[in-house]
Structure 1
Amino acid sequence: METTPSGGRPRGRGNVFFAFVPWIAFDVVAGPSTWELAALVALVASVVLTVPDVAHGSVKLLDVTGIVFFTVIALLGLVLDRHDLIWLETYAQVLANAVIAGVALGSLAFVPFTEQYARESTPREIWGTPAFRRTNQVLTLVWGLVFALTAVLGLIALRVAGGTDWLNWVIPVVLLVLAVRFTEWYPARVHERIHRDGAARGA
């Protein structure tokens, strides 16, 4: 069983990965002739993920960003002609990764986006503690950097003749797996350190 710095269940933190599902789905489905379909799939996924939060009276930054971004992309696909869509077709995946990276890293200046998920499984009195805040800053930074690097790799892939599978798929998948593992490991490490320090002070 994973734990948060507060010792609570990790339901909210576990949902962080699912928040990226629409963006990952867009990356997987999007292509020169399928990016419009990818935008619709990602939009539906974003709405489906948002409905339970709305039902509980909360809306998360990542969900709202997904709905807005994929709605705009889908609408552009409907109103722009083929010539005007060439740029969007080429850079759709890079743009999606750049947007999610920007939102994640930008949230560090306010409320780290992972904190919205962590609060779901953490007592309110823990929310203002330095450990809770620091943990979510680190997790948010890691996810933001992963998507920023994925965007850069996608941009490089558009400009090289070979190795595109590595740049578009292999390395990004490895980065995602590492981010998930880190998200599981780091809060547990903080939790253990807090309890160890508390035990030492008690002794």
Structure 2
Amino acid sequence: MAGTGSTKRTGNIFFAFAPWIIFDVVAGPSTWEYAALAALVASIALNVPDFRRGKFKILEVTGVVFFAVISVLALVLDHHDLVWLETYAQAISSGVIAVVCLASLAFVPFTSQYARESTPREHWDSPVFRHINLVLTAMWSAVFVVTAVLGVVAVHTRGGSDWLNWVIPVALLVLAVRFTEHYPDRYTARQRAAVPGGVS
């Protein structure tokens, strides 16, 4: 059923976001290069099993490419040329995730790639499965759009940067994880109650 396996589903999504979280936590005016390298190593290490099986998820591939590009830029460009990246590193990383998540809505919602790992194949094309993953992907997209905007505002705000860069984004992530855990089962239960004989 589309609503089962919530623990595995959120766990896999958390691992997909882990490199980005590492980058956001470590990145700073003097540490973003190390943050990019740490995130690149995490992206590769966490995704080796999937890559070996020939499974390529959009968020994971984006992470490897993004952090590889950032790491290369840190090596080949002068510090003066990277002031913009140093200044907006956190906002840029959140913005990239937001764009990827939003773009996936037009093709394959990125959350469905993780949901399929805990959902039987016969339910992948069901209206319930598609609806759940459209909602979850839209929700994660909104979270990272807001986080990116907060990152930009923090750069231009003298006070409250900790709230804008850390406290509010972390709270949003926690809420998003909780929503991802509970929404599929609740929506599936409502659909079962509304349709005689249940739904797939």
TM-score w.r.t. the length of structure 1 is 0.92
Aligned 1:50-65 pairs, distance under 5 A: 50-65=47-62
- 2:87 maps to a residue whose letter is T
Matched positions, count = 198
Aligned 1:21-170 pairs, distance under 5 A: 21-170=18-167
In 2: Cα distance, 1:142 partner to 1:62 partner: 15
Q: Once the 2 structures are TM-superposed, how far is the Cα of residue 8 of structure 1 from its aligned partner? A: 5.0
- Matched residue SS, 1:64: helix
Deviations 1:21-51 (Å, cap 9, x if unpaired)?
0001000000011000000000011101211
In 2: Cα distance, 1:36 partner to 1:88 partner: 10
Q: Once the 2 structures are TM-superposed, how far is the Cα of residue 6 of structure 1 from its aligned partner? A: 5.1
Alignment pair present for 1:17 and 2:45: no
In 2: Cα distance, 1:22 partner to 1:11 partner: 18
TM-score w.r.t. the length of structure 2 is 0.94
Inter-CA distance 169–52: structure 2 relative to 1 (3 Å threshold):
same
Consecutive unaligned residues of structure 2, counting only runs of 5 or more, are none
- 1:77 maps to a residue whose letter is A
Q: Once the 2 structures are TM-superposed, how far is the Cα of residue 85 of structure 1 from its aligned partner? A: 1.2
Alignment pair present for 1:5 and 2:2: yes
- 1:192 maps to a residue whose letter is A
CA contact (8 A) 2:19 2:42 kept: yes
- 1:53 maps to a residue whose letter is D
- Matched residue SS, 1:32: coil
